[in-house]
Structure 1
Amino acid sequence: MLSRPIVLLAPGETARGEELVRTADVAFTDADAAHPGFRGKVGATVLPFDGKYGAFTDADARGQFMAGLGFVQPPGIAERDDDTSFYVEIAPEQARLLDGDVLVALADEGSARRQVDSDPVLRRIPVVARGDVVVPDADTRGAMTYNSVLSAPYALERLVPQLAGKLAG
């Protein structure tokens, strides 16, 4: 669910804003109801950068998005989350901390995507070795990142079937 929805509308559009918040909340509720198997599954959301990985915490919209679907952080990430940042930095030699039931890699089409596809350490992590990695397209990645009342339903529509497919396999 959206923990802090931001709705920027013209003055006097309060009712429209409340409707958008309800619509987004219903989208999360519907996704949760349709996929109860997500609850309690371990799923990290990471962004490759500079040869490392940033695992998003619940302090970030991307972490909140996954939590809204019932996913929990990998234990190693949760243990390193000291509430001072919106992500936990993971060096390549710590990549095993990203293991779980599914991994969402927010890689752009450039060097970050090549890092995900070619990192030999990352490929040895069971979740990656099994192929349970989702790399959303740019629009879905952006919608998940913003996690607003307008973008969340779009991200849910696109990402939930990919997550379900990975967990069913």
Structure 2
Amino acid sequence: MQTSPARFSRRGFIAAAGSLLTVQPLRAQTGELRFDHAYGETVLPGPAKRVVSLGYTTQDSLLALGVVPQAIRYWYGDHPNGVWPWAQELLGGAQPALMTGEVSIETVASLAPELIVAIGSGISQSEYALLSQIAPVLMHEADSTPYGMPWDAELRMIARATGTSERAETLISGLRDRFSALRTQHPDWQGRSAVCAWHEGGQTSAFLGGDSRVQVLREMGFHLPEALARMQGADGFYTALSPEDLSPIDADLLMWISSGGQADDLAALAMRRTLRANAEGREIFCDALLSGALSFGSVLSMPYALDRLEPEIAAALDGDPATVVPSAQEAGLL
């Protein structure tokens, strides 16, 4: 489930040193667009049409805005063109280049993009500088973690860079209305604690406040338990837990995030039985597709996640330990 920062190939650096990346400096002109972010300032002469998506999930934002990327960065999952089911139809038959593993400088340069979206890509500042020789590069905001830029802020930044701000505001308004309606329909959820955790290979970990999965829970009215909120983690988005003490994740709602095939490992985790969430039937098991939707945390994936989560959460938080949570039963966790 963890995302590893991108690294460039040796061939990429060689290519970058050659004539392939000879570019003209951007000149100030009417209509130019300026973006402040974690690595400085990016300037565009105007809205971009040709876009490469280097962020692990930024293809969703681009597709939602009607911009089909020339290339997409593969994260995980077995889906055509690296695009998950909630966004597939927006490709419209297009087949963007799919970049797996290391980023190829040659590939990016050969596409002659007008914009490189690297929000949530994990690239370093020196890598950003190298890519900026090809085209302007967008990074996460300075006050966000590399993988924790809020979904609406990301959408607005990309929309301004692609001349689709009006569409972005419509999408944001629609999803905010959806969250607002959900909070109104479930007042008993408001102010309760919730955790997204996973267990694999003997290690249990949980996502922190800077992560997209936790942002979705926050939009529904939940918050992290105090013990977990105080913990520090890798890149600000997750933390590993002691195998002898899982108490930091003992929340009103405990959601287990799966990357596929983790149910057996989780069912065998003896320390789960020490948690009140387990004893009182307040666990949800998210399969690979639902986990992916939460992990993307995009304007396209969140509506899919909400459709599936609402009945699950209602069952988990109805106050009756005897109520069966379907996903937990199907995963063999009961």
- Tell me whether the two structures share a fold, i.e. TM-score over 0.5: yes
One-letter code of the match for 1:3?
P
Q: 1:93 aligns with which of 196, 219, 244?
A: 244
Residue matched to 2:279: 129
Q: How far did 1:31 drift?
A: 1.0
- Give per-residue Cα distances to partners, 1:20-47, cap 9 Å, x unaligned: 1111111111111111111111111112
Say whether residues 1:103 and 2:254 are aligned partners.
yes
Residue matched to 2:203: 52
Q: Is the 8 A contact 1:74 1:97 kept in 2?
A: yes
Q: Is the 8 A contact 2:201 2:265 kept in 1?
A: no
Identity of aligned residues (%): 28
Residue matched to 2:222: 71
Say whether residues 1:146 and 2:296 are aligned partners.
yes
Residue matched to 1:29: 180
| TM-score, scaled to structure 1 | 0.87
**Aligned CA distance change for structure 1 residues 12 and 75 (closer, same or farther; 3 Å):** closer
Q: Which has the higher helix share?
A: 1
Say whether residues 1:166 and 2:316 are aligned partners.
yes
Higher RCO (C-alpha 8 Å, min separation 6): 1
Local SS of the residue matching 1:80: coil
| TM-score, scaled to structure 2 | 0.46
Q: 1:4 aligns with which of 146, 151, 157?
A: 151
Structure 1: stretches of 5+ with no match in the other structure: none
Local SS of the residue matching 1:148: coil
Aligned length: 167
Local SS of the residue matching 2:195: strand
Residue matched to 1:17: 168
RMSD: 2.2
Local SS of the residue matching 2:246: helix
Q: Is the 8 A contact 2:200 2:266 kept in 1?
A: no
- Aligned mates of 1:143, 1:4 — CA distance in 2: 13
**Aligned CA distance change for structure 1 residues 84 and 146 (closer, same or farther; 3 Å):** closer
One-letter code of the match for 1:16?
R
Instruction: Select the structure of larger CA radius of gyration.
Output: 2
